[in-house]
Amino acid sequence: MDHDAVGQRTMRKLLLMALSLIGLFDSAYLLWEYTSPAHPMVCMGGGCDAVRASAYSHIVGLPVPIFGIFMYGFLVLLLFLYPLLPTSIARLTQSSVLLISGAAFLFSIYLTGLEAFVIHAWCVWCVVSALLVTGIFLLSIMERSHPPKPLEPAEALAAVQRNFALILFGFVLGVPAFIFLTQHGSTAPSKPPSPKAVEAHMIRPDTHLYGNPNAKVTIVEFGDFKCPACRQAESSAKQIREKFGNQIRFAFREFPLVGVHPESEKAAEAAECAGQQGEFWQAVDMFYEHQDDLSVSALNRYARGMGLDSQKFAACLQNGTMAERVTRDLTDGQALGVHATPTFFIDGREIVGPLPYDQFAQLVENELKLAGVEQAGQSGTSKPAETPESFPAGKAKTGSKKSAMQPTGGGSQDTMQVLGGSNLFAGLQNSAAACNEEEAKKRQPKMIDTPQAEKIFGDHSQALFVDVRTAKDFQSGHIPGALNMPIDSFEQECKRLPKDKTIVLYEAGKSSGDICAFSRSAGRVLLSQGYSYSDVNVYRDGLAGWTKAGLPTKR
């Protein structure tokens, strides 16, 4: 083999190693961000957070970047060992690299397609990874076309040394770069919709409402009848409508993603045609139940099954009578920043992806508590609003609030963000924030014991208990009527707490062994934001002391 050919093969192998190391760094940073949703993200163009918050950011409950770490890491290992392997095994290694990179290339096409046609947002880190995988795949094809040759010991040692030097260089360069990235970035890369935009586009006079048109808490869903995630979300949404009855108003807006689901446009029109005959919500149930077939002929068949006037329905659908209304819903959603389905707005707070029922219910309960709505004994009374047209436009809550996303599968990253889901990194950071000298110099909230907490608890109208533990811990047991506002997201969320009530912050209590409690840190945050010293209390005994005193708890 001539020196030029040897030099080309050496450069290809080094380039393969370099691209794999860059991909490993890219995936490691994305994994950090996906498991630390409260952290700001460095991203050019502002699409990274939209992708991170989408229902496609996790697969089987795992964040997508973790698959990149395994793939790139395995490639680095194979390429590092390659010079030391016998010729027969080296040939197998070549095939393995080609197979792995080929599968990753196809997967990157799928992910890029989701960004382009479903999420409608671009994550620069994801695009870089797709380009890296493409380069690795092409290089591996070229490498596979040249059978491996046995190396002399000196040549093998030199190849290993080159690989080691490249890995060491990547480590020296990558660690400070990683630290820099995790300390910079923007929490709001895209401009949120203005209050006027929310008011104009959230609910219109003829929007389909379920529940009480005058309720203090509003839930708006933008959905696509052909979207599998929307069908999954409908199970929880239906339970929410049934449980909270007339305490909420639930609105449904059409958001057909025609580029991905060609049948969704006509399905949306069909639901509106059913709404003309007073059966919109029945159509919602029917279309999600029969999501696999939403062809025009099937839609007409479903209309007959719902007992609608078949001729009137068919004419409405055929003439496109409701096309303009569907387009208006779609335009309203885009004005509000909707980029994927399902998207929910709970009193203006945007959540992307399906929510498990218990988490959805917890969010609604939080909003009801903040709105001062009594919840006891009111469930199962939900019904469609009889006259949605009488509901004046522009009464929706203003000031859309984006979630700050942890993630479980199927888009629950936003769920975690809203509920302040626990993760190791965020917990460590908050612990440091609670105990450092700078925090200690701040004004400290006053501490109260169980008798004082019980006395305050007796006046529900003037007091609000706030549990700063994780959503999971809160759901396992809490003080009745308490609001869950986890410490991971407390600084962003606490601005919504009323300033005319006594606030009692608590967590697990002395049994948890904490010295600088998160509830104290939360109290300092409230004082720094103008809350009255007399109204901010930290219940030092926490839930443990409350339970020990025989006081009531709720799951």
Q: Is 256 exposed, middle or buried (0-12, 13-18, 19+ CB in 10 A)?
A: buried
CA distances from 390 to 12, 75, 254, 381 (A): 69, 63, 20, 21
| Length of the chain as a residue count | 555
Average pLDDT, stretch 171-183? Answer: 89
SS3 55: coil
pLDDT band for position 363 (cuts 50, 70, 90): confident
- Mean pLDDT value of segment 171-192: 74
The yes-or-no verdict on residue 7 having pLDDT over 80 is no
| Sheet of strand 483-484, all strands in order from the earlier edge strand to the far edge | 446-448, 536-539, 502-506, 463-467, 483-484
Above 60 in pLDDT, residue 103? yes
Single-letter amino acid, residue 182 = T
Give tens-digit pLDDT for 324-341.
Answer: 999 999 888 888 888 788
The model's pLDDT over 183-202, given as tens digits with 9 standing for 90+, comes to 776 544 444 555 655 667 88
> Computed over its alpha carbons, how large is the radius of gyration of the chain?
28
Beta strands in 143-291 (DSSP E): 208-211, 217-223, 248-254
**Most confident of the ranges 33-47, 243-257, 469-483, 518-532:** 243-257
Express each pLDDT in 281-316 by its tens digit. 999 999 999 999 999 999 999 999 999 999 999 999
Q: Which residue has the tokens 């919504």?
A: 496
How many whole angstroms separate alpha carbon 234 and alpha carbon 506? 34
Q: What percent of the chain has pLDDT over 70?
A: 80
SS3 content of the chain, % helix, strand, coil (to 5): 55, 10, 35
Say whether pTM exceeds 0.85. Answer: no
Q: What strand order describes the sheet that includes 401-402?
A: 208-211, 248-254, 217-223, 343-346, 349-352, 401-402
401 Cβ contact list (under 8 Å, min separation 6): 348, 349, 350
307 dihedral zone (left: phi>0; alpha: psi -120 to 50; beta): left
User: Mean pLDDT for the chain?
Assistant: 80
What pLDDT does residue 287 have? 96
Rounded mean pLDDT, 476-502? 83
41-45, 56-60, 172-176, 449-453, range with the lowest pLDDT = 41-45
Maximal C-alpha separation, the chain: 89
Q: Residue 466 has which token pair? A: 């706030």
Hunting for tokens 């030029």 — which residue is that?
4
Q: Which of 42-56, 421-435, 480-494, 526-540 has the lowest mean pLDDT?
A: 421-435
Determine the pLDDT at residue 277.
95
Quote the pLDDT of residue 510.
Answer: 62
Q: What is the rounded (10 degree) CA torsion for 93, 97, 98, 101?
A: 170
Proportion of the chain above pLDDT 90, given as a percent: 36
Contact 480, 555 (CB under 8 A): no
- pLDDT-derived band at 53 (thresholds 50, 70, 90) equals low
Residue 66 has pLDDT above 60, yes or no: yes
What is d(CA 486, CA 493) in angstroms, rounded to the nearest whole number? 9
Q: Residue 409: which pLDDT band, with cuts at 50, 70 and 90?
A: very low
The DSSP line for 493-517 is HGGGS-SSSEEEEE-S-GGG--SS-
Query: DSSP secondary-structure letter at 33?
Result: H
Query: 203-217, 367-381, 453-467: which has the minimum mean pLDDT?
Result: 367-381
Residue 322: per-residue pLDDT? 94
Q: What is the pLDDT of residue 193?
A: 52
Q: What is the pLDDT of residues 228-282, one digit of tens each?
A: 889 989 999 999 999 998 899 999 999 998 877 889 999 999 999 999 999 999 9
| Ranges 111-115, 291-295, 375-379, 482-486: which has the least confidence | 375-379
Tell me the C-alpha distance between 327 and 265, whole Å.
9
pLDDT score, position 274: 96
**Does the pLDDT at position 403 exceed 60?**
no
Beta bridge partners of 254: 223
Helices 124-144 and 3-34, axial angle in degrees (round to 10): 150
Higher pLDDT, 511 or 63: 63
Contact 251, 283 (CB under 8 A): no
Q: Which are the contacts of 407, defined by CB distance < 8 A and separation ≥ 6?
A: 34, 35, 37, 57, 58, 63, 413, 415, 416, 421
Nearest to 203 by CA among 345, 384, 395: 395
Mean pLDDT of 514-525: 74
What pLDDT score was predicted for residue 468?
A: 87
Q: Using CA atoms in the order 168, 173, 178, 180, what is the torsion angle rounded to 10 degrees?
A: 150
Q: What is the pLDDT of residue 36?
A: 61
Which of the pair, 531 or 414, is modelled with greater confidence? 531
Identify the bridge partners of residue 532 per DSSP, sorted by sequence position. Answer: none
Poorest-pLDDT segment among 35-39, 249-253, 325-329, 471-475: 35-39
Arithmetic mean of pLDDT, 146-174? 89
Q: How confident is the model at residue 491 (pLDDT cuts 50, 70, 90)?
A: confident
Residue 526: is its pLDDT beyond 50?
yes
Report the pLDDT value the prediction gives residue 511, as an integer from 0 to 100: 53
The answer, yes or no, to whether the previous bond of 342 is cis (omega within 30 of 0) is yes
8 Å CB contact between 485 and 526: no
Q: Return the C-alpha torsion angle 281, 398, 188, 363, nearest 10.
A: -50
Q: What is the pLDDT of residues 348-360, one digit of tens each?
A: 888 888 888 888 8
Backbone angles phi, psi at 91, to 5 degrees: -65, -40
Residue 143 has pLDDT above 70, yes or no: yes
- The secondary element (H helix, E strand) that includes residue 463 is strand 463-467
Q: In the prediction, which pLDDT does 335 show? A: 82
At residue 383 the predicted structure's pLDDT band, cuts being 50, 70 and 90, is low
For helices 264-276 and 296-305, the axis angle rounded to 10 degrees is 30
Distance CA 164, CA 170 (A): 10
DSSP codes of every residue in 62-112: EEHHHHHHHHHHHHHHHHHHGGGS-HHHHHHHHHHHHHHHHHHHHHHHHHH
Q: Which residue has the tokens 């992910």?
A: 111
Residues β-bridged to residue 446: 537
- pLDDT bin (cut points 50, 70, 90) of residue 2 is low
Domains, the chain? 3-182 (1.20.1440.130), 195-398 (3.40.30.10), 429-548 (3.40.250.10)
Structure tokens belonging to residue 9:
């093969």
In angstroms, rounded to a whole number, what is the distance separating the alpha carbons of residues 327 and 334?
Answer: 11
In this structure, the number of other CB atoms found within 10 A of the CB of residue 300 comes to 17
List the beta bridge partners of residue 223: 254
